[in-house]
Structure 1
Amino acid sequence: MDSERTRRIRRMAVVPLCFVGLAMLAQAAAEQLTVVSWGGVYTRSQILGFVRDFEQSSGIDVEMIDYTGGIEEIRSQVRAYNIKWNVVDLELFDAMRACDEGLLVEIDPASLPPAPDGTAATEDFVDGALTRCAVGNVAFATVIAYDRDRLERGPETIEDFFDLRGFPGKRGLRRTPMTNLEWALISDGVESARVYDVLDTEEGVDRAFAVLDRIKPQIEWWELGEEAVRLLETDSVAMTSAYNGRIHSAAQRGEPFEILWDHNVRFWDVWGIPKHTENLDAALAFVRFATSTRSLANQSEHIAYGPLRKSSLRLLDSETRENLPTADKNAASGFATNAQWWGEHLPELQIRFDRWLERSVNVPKDLPGR
């Protein structure tokens, strides 16, 4: 591990530091950045992939803290002019909402480092990964995961997840309407290409919640990605939604976990900087460093998430690439979440979802449990 770490530091040492302005930040050595991310093996992949290298190169200490997503805390800090978070790892739709509300600093894409061959960042990032207030880092997928040692027959389709009679046992789901509503409709016969058209109607939303009603008494809710893994580790559920990288990491540790890629839902994570941050120069330097070609490739070596720079993908070996949600076979089995749609509809649907959670549902007496 130490020798591997030394090699990575040496690789980073050959990257010209001028492109992130780190030499100009020597005077900020006593500063500390608070960077907010998603915890567990994901945050670990960032620390090993580029955070330590950034600290060594800049002299700036980075404190990593966890959260469960959303923009409420950012909104509170910005409106109070009391910024405690300097850089935040956001889901794309949340970054779009926060930007529209004026909560994030605008980031000039021309200031981002080019690819090693000189290709401008605007050409190197995949389409849509650079927005007015955010810079893309990785693509991940929400998938279905299960323990092959505990199920005589594993699920093969998303419909199996909603089939409590054919596949008895509790289900794990993230405590959010996102993905859950799409999967509910798909399991009820809606094609993934039409799912947002259907959700655009009141009848479609009603239909999705009606499908969720069927399994609601058997749902164990999770919020942090590591919680989904623990649901499997503790035999609390027969299967659960989860982030592909978390399950892949658990499998590498020896857990008998399997991923069902059918109708996986791809998301993008991006970096944003809350407005009014006092450490703006250091925060911008961190974002530039974290989204350089080598940094994104390094992170993908520690978690199976796809880098959003084409040049980063080219640095990964074939075995690493085939486990990413952006691999051809995995991408073909799923679809990308509509970040624009969720940015517009999440507030109202979150209210309805929270109310739905509070409402009890009658359970058929012949419904098998776990």
Structure 2
Amino acid sequence: MTLHRNTCHKRSFFKIAVSPLLLALGLSCGAAQAAENMVVVGYGGAGQKAQDAAFFQPFSKQSGVGVTQSEYNGEMARIKVMADTGHADWDVVQIEGPDLARGCDEGLFVPLDWQQIGGKEQLIPNAAKDCGSAALVWGVAIAYDADKLKPAPQSWADFWDVQKFPGKRGMRKRAIYNLEFALMADGVKPADVYKELGTKAGVDRAFAKLNQIKPYVQWWEAGAQPAQWLAAGDVVMTTTYTGRIADAYKGGRNLQLVWPGSLYGMDYWAIIKGSQHVDSAKRFIAFANQPDAQVDYVKHIAYGPTNKQAAERLPSDLAGWVPTSTQNLPQGLAMDDEFWVDHGEELEERFNAWAAQ
């Protein structure tokens, strides 16, 4: 989009001239004159509140594009209907890596021109994809209330040990994450998890381990639920997104994380095919990739930034809650997106049938 300088007040022009990328993308008073509104969809809760403060509101203020928010739990079927019919009610969606890869292969998302939106080199490895731009680095780990649970759990074996730690466990109602955790609970080293899951015997082993804990599981489907359940005493420990627990800790609850055996990966921003606001959506992604915006985001919730400069700027008290920090990264397992692209559909179907039994 071209900047019409003669329609803008000189002061406004110089205010944004410091960012050539955003200027080239039309984040100007000229762009602000367009009464446009786009829908951005995420996973809700504290994570989306942080996105609203660091990304949605500042982007809307700077670009003049209104941002309407919605929430979902990763349901690809709805996105597929939008893309297949060409009538997308949503514009930008936050999506997990395997779902992004499958959706990109199926033509559900708009390809990104990385030269147009700032280049790949500003981001950490694997953050820039053909159809998506990493929104954050997340972690999934065991969380517990340190005021209620003593001694503290140390591993996935402890998570499965209902004699030593009696009570309900919270787990996300999907195959992804749970199969990895089950194998680690059964003694598989993190480095060997995906090698084991790549065999029929390994998958059977994971489901057999899940059978042991199933009677004690309370399934969560929204990212806000684990911290709420811990605070209410509904579960004794739970799998959770690490950033949610960091947020709860900041809010005064003594919730803690077990980093050994944690899983980490990235969520991505993707533009749904059929969006009526593709240009604005691309400008939003470019804005969200800026280091200042990302540092601000991590200050609101402790998910890892994807911009290299942002990661270097994090203060030490925040870095301790980030899954890719120097102290936490060696204890974790990187989620294998390609494994879930190749096997996710069949494993999710088996998991859903198993969970319904």
- The normalised TM-score by structure 2 is 0.92
1:135-181: CA deviation from partner (whole Å, max 9, x where unpaired): 11210100100111221311011210011111111100000111111
The answer to whether the aligner puts 1:97 opposite 2:102 as a matched pair is yes
Distance 1:12 1:18, change over 3 A: closer
Question: Which residue among 66, 70, 76 is the counterpart of 1:71?
Answer: 76
- Amino acid corresponding to residue 182 of structure 1 in structure 2: E
Shift of 1:14: 4.7
Shift of 1:334: 0.8
- Amino acid corresponding to residue 245 of structure 2 in structure 1: I
Alignment partners' CA distance in 1, 2:16 and 2:302: 21
Alignment partners' CA distance in 2, 1:31 and 1:201: 50
Residue matched to 1:59: 64
Question: Which residue among 140, 143, 154 is the counterpart of 1:142?
Answer: 140
Shift of 1:25: 5.8
Question: Which residue among 237, 240, 243 is the counterpart of 2:241?
Answer: 243
Residue matched to 2:11: none
Residue matched to 1:108: 113
Contact 1:25 1:282 in 2 (8 A): no
Find the residue that maps to 2:41 and give its secondary structure.
strand
The answer to whether the aligner puts 1:355 opposite 2:335 as a matched pair is no
Residue matched to 2:7: none
Instruction: Please provide the CA RMSD for this pair.
Output: 1.6
Alignment partners' CA distance in 2, 1:318 and 1:215: 37
Alignment partners' CA distance in 1, 2:111 and 2:69: 22
Distance 1:25 1:37, change over 3 A: farther
Question: Which residue among 175, 178, 187 is the counterpart of 1:177?
Answer: 175
Shift of 1:24: 7.9
Question: Which residue among 191, 194, 202 is the counterpart of 1:193?
Answer: 191
Residue matched to 1:118: none
Give the unaligned 5+ runs of structure 1: 1-10, 114-120, 360-370
Find the residue that maps to 2:101 and give its secondary structure.
helix
Shift of 1:108: 1.1
Shift of 1:27: 6.2
- Amino acid corresponding to residue 297 of structure 1 in structure 2: V
Contact 2:117 2:283 in 1 (8 A): no
Contact 2:82 2:273 in 1 (8 A): no
Contact 1:175 1:221 in 2 (8 A): yes
Alignment partners' CA distance in 2, 1:45 and 1:13: 27
- Amino acid corresponding to residue 255 of structure 2 in structure 1: F
Residue matched to 2:89: 84
Find the residue that maps to 1:95 and give its secondary structure.
helix
1:268-294: CA deviation from partner (whole Å, max 9, x where unpaired): 011100112111111111111111222
Find the residue that maps to 1:168 and give its secondary structure.
coil
Alignment partners' CA distance in 2, 1:13 and 1:210: 60
Contact 1:160 1:167 in 2 (8 A): yes
Alignment partners' CA distance in 1, 2:224 and 2:18: 35
Moved more, 70-79 or 11-20: 11-20
Find the residue that maps to 1:270 and give its secondary structure.
strand
- Amino acid corresponding to residue 258 of structure 1 in structure 2: Q
- Amino acid corresponding to residue 67 of structure 2 in structure 1: V
Residue matched to 2:342: 344
Contact 2:260 2:332 in 1 (8 A): yes
- Amino acid corresponding to residue 153 of structure 1 in structure 2: P
- Amino acid corresponding to residue 231 of structure 1 in structure 2: W
Moved more, 253-262 or 216-225: 253-262
Alignment partners' CA distance in 2, 1:202 and 1:128: 29
Give the unaligned 5+ runs of structure 2: 1-14
Could you list the runs of 4 or more consecutive aligned residues of structure 1 that deviate by over 4 angstroms after TM superposition?
Answer: 11-14
Residue matched to 1:290: 288
Moved more, 341-350 or 23-32: 23-32
Residue matched to 1:116: none
Contact 2:26 2:63 in 1 (8 A): no
The number of equivalent residue pairs is: 342
Alignment partners' CA distance in 2, 1:185 and 1:278: 44
1:241-268: CA deviation from partner (whole Å, max 9, x where unpaired): 0011100110111112111111110020
